[in-house]
A = this chain, B = another copy of it.
Amino acid sequence: MERFGEREAIALLDRVLGAERGSGAEVGIGDDAAVIRAPAGRRLVWTVDVQVEHVHFERRWLSLEDVGWRSFQAAVSDLAAMGARPLAALSSLVLPPGFARTELARLARGQAAAARCAACPIVGGNLSRGSELGITTSVLGLAKRPLLRSGARAGEEIWLVGAIGLARAGLLLLERKLRARSPAERACLAAWRRPEALLSRGDGLVRRASSAVDVSDGLAQDVRHLARASGVKLVLEERLVRRALPAELEAVSARLGEDPLALALEGGEDYALLATGPKRLRPRWARKIGRVERGRGVSLERADGRRLVVRGGFDHLARTATTSSQRTAS
């Protein structure tokens, strides 16, 4: 296994990640800290996300480029949910014993590609050893009026932006060692391996939505986050949720023996956006999937009017997920 030192690793990262710098940072990789000039009159919106091997991913399911890409998109998705524009990112890597120089280059290339896609340069970071691969991405963005989780009001609609369930289906295919045979199944694998944060959609929700969150822990869980933060009851309408599901999900869920609705409720890593807002302000690219009522908690309203209490989703600290099947996810 190829050995390399810290100085060599920093030079490599500077080369691979540095191509996307220039705009934001006055001082980038190599000093004690990055220096950034921020425009006046904006709020700073700041988040951090970590992807740990064996917890959030297995390397046999992903290339290292994929690992780099999705760890970056997962972090920047929080900015999409706040309606913020990315400014810059820091990448803190924990590298396991024997991690080779070529592996670091592949990981960094995935990060750099995602950074380019999000127009969010990686301006610095940190390197450490550790027993398992870990990628911590901190992202700083700007917003005039950040979209919070706490603004939902009774009488509004619940909106879904983007696809849900595909990444969950892709993960199940990988976990069950099922080879993708159809375009729909390949789409599910791609959704899990190469998610894309909906930054321009998040920006488009500003001045329209009253609250927003990104769907990272599963629709069921994230809708509860909105309800709790806003102090309202959120009612998901089964008919509307099913209608909002991507076409590919039906066929793949049949092979998996899963209800597409369950995949959607449990699936988070597509990084769709969930928002609330008044009907008249709903963008054409947002789908209504329910409504906001007075009260607390989250219900799923069946076609016959019966209501089920919604539970499930991913608990980052639970050994096994609270959903019906075990999962390894963010």
Q: Which residue of B lies closest to A148 (CB)?
A: B31
The reply to whether A32 and B214 form a contact with Cβ atoms under 8 Å apart is: yes
Q: Which residues does chain B contribute within 8 Å of A7, judged by CB atoms? A: 315
The reply to whether A45 and B55 form a contact with Cβ atoms under 8 Å apart is: no
Most interface-central of A35, A95, A317 (chain B CB within 10 A): A317
- Scan A22-63; emit 1 where CB is below 8 A from any B CB, else 0: 000011001111111110110111111110101110000000
How far, in whole Å, are A140 and B138 apart by their CA atoms in the complex? 11
How far, in whole Å, are A50 and B289 apart by their CA atoms in the complex? 41
Which residues 214-239 of A have a CB within 8 angstroms of B? 214, 229
Q: Which residues does chain B contribute within 8 Å of A149, judged by CB atoms? A: 30-32
The reply to whether B213 and A78 form a contact with Cβ atoms under 8 Å apart is: no
How far, in whole Å, are A67 and B316 apart by their CA atoms in the complex? 22
Q: Which residues does chain B contribute within 8 Å of A268, judged by CB atoms? A: none
Q: Which residue of B lies closest to A146 (CB)?
A: B35
Q: Which residues does chain B contribute within 8 Å of A123, judged by CB atoms? A: 46
Q: Which residue of B lies closest to A81 (CB)?
A: B32
Given A33-B47, A33-B141, check contact A316 B146 (CB 8 Å). no
Q: Which residue of B lies closest to A38 (CB)?
A: B44
Q: Which residue of B lies closest to A145 (CB)?
A: B35
The reply to whether A37 and B44 form a contact with Cβ atoms under 8 Å apart is: yes
A33 partner, pick from B79, B126, B129, beta carbons under 8 A? B79
Which residues 141-157 of A have a CB within 8 angstroms of B? 141, 143, 146, 148-150
- Nearest-neighbour CB distance to chain B for A59, whole angstroms, equals 15
A276 interface residue per 8 A CB criterion: no
A166 interface residue per 8 A CB criterion: no
How far, in whole Å, are A47 and B36 apart by their CA atoms in the complex? 11
Which residues 67-116 of A have a CB within 8 angstroms of B? 78-79, 81-82, 84, 88, 90, 92, 94-95, 97
Q: Which residues does chain B contribute within 8 Å of A174, judged by CB atoms? A: none
The reply to whether A148 and B27 form a contact with Cβ atoms under 8 Å apart is: yes
Given A35-B45, A35-B82, A317-B5, check contact A94 B150 (CB 8 Å). no
Q: Which residues does chain B contribute within 8 Å of A30, judged by CB atoms? A: 149, 229
How far, in whole Å, are A143 and B37 apart by their CA atoms in the complex? 10
Q: Which 9 residue pairs of A and B lie closest in terms of their CB atoms, listed nearest first? A: A40-B40, A33-B47, A32-B78, A36-B44, A138-B138, A32-B81, A52-B130, A6-B317, A48-B90
24 contacts between A and B (CB under 8 A): A6-B315, A26-B43, A32-B149, A34-B47, A35-B43, A35-B45, A36-B44, A37-B44, A38-B38, A38-B44, A46-B90, A47-B124, A48-B90, A48-B92, A48-B124, A48-B138, A50-B126, A52-B130, A55-B129, A55-B130, A56-B128, A90-B138, A138-B138, A140-B140
